Amino acid sequence: MSSREQRKQAVREERLAAERRAARAATQRRRVRLAGGVAALLAVILVPALVFSPSAPDPGSSEIGSRPIPERVVTDLGEAVRRADAQRISHPYAFGINDHTDDPVAYPTNPPTNGPHAFTWTQDGNYAGQAPPPTGQVVHAQEHGRVVIQYRPGIAREKLEQLVALYEEDPQHVLLVENATGMRCEVAATAWGQGVLCETLTDRSFDALRAFRDRYRDRGPESVA
């Protein structure tokens, strides 16, 4: 091969090598852009999931034991409420749906049934004897169909143990918490837009709380997670 042909061959090889380097660089850039796009997509998917996922506190294991409660006699909610001399409260169902805020909220009912609420919600569980979960998170749990049994701070130990027994009787999508809104009644059950208040917990109160639980559980405006 002549020196001229050798120079041409060297030029071709150098050009091909440069083209291969450019192709590899372009491929690397595409991979980087793809990885960045995937990361951005995951951020769009995962961040809201983290924001709207159930939140602590974790109920863990309560140190409050349970004691026997009266067997069920009445299943009709109206009749059970009447016999227990309890009070019904309600607020328009649409109030507060998907209305998330971290600001304090002046709720129109006490305890709150529905309204603006926190971005996260309290997990189901027995919080007896523990610090009450944030009210906004409890309201958000009600938006997802939870029924919340609430007791006034300072309730007698034996009554609290009876409420634990009521919770353990049928705990699915139920929370047992200490009230944090200064409610006047001794015990209440709340769900989205509805509540039943027992000024004093008596043997007849349990059927009212049971009937309320069965009527309004899983009937919030948001999906039952």
Judged on CB neighbours under 10 Å (0-12, 13-18, 19+), 153 is: exposed
Beta bridge partners of 26: none
pLDDT at residue 6, rounded to an integer: 62
- Pick from 94, 149, 142: which is nearest to 122 by CA? 142
Q: Do residues 121 and 54 touch, judged by C-beta distance below 8 A?
A: yes
- CA–CA distance, 214 with 143 (Å, rounded to integer): 16
Say what the pLDDT of residue 50 is. 37
Which pLDDT does position 24 carry in this prediction? 62
């083209």: which residue's tokens? 19
pLDDT tens per residue across span 123-142: 999 999 999 999 999 999 99
Per-residue tokens: 3:
């020196």
Closest CA relative to residue 141, chosen from 197, 48, 57, 68: 57
**What pLDDT shows up at residue 224?**
84
Residues in the chain predicted with pLDDT less than 50, given as ranges, are: 32, 34, 38-53, 55-56
Beta bridge partners of residue 196, listed in sequence order: 88, 189
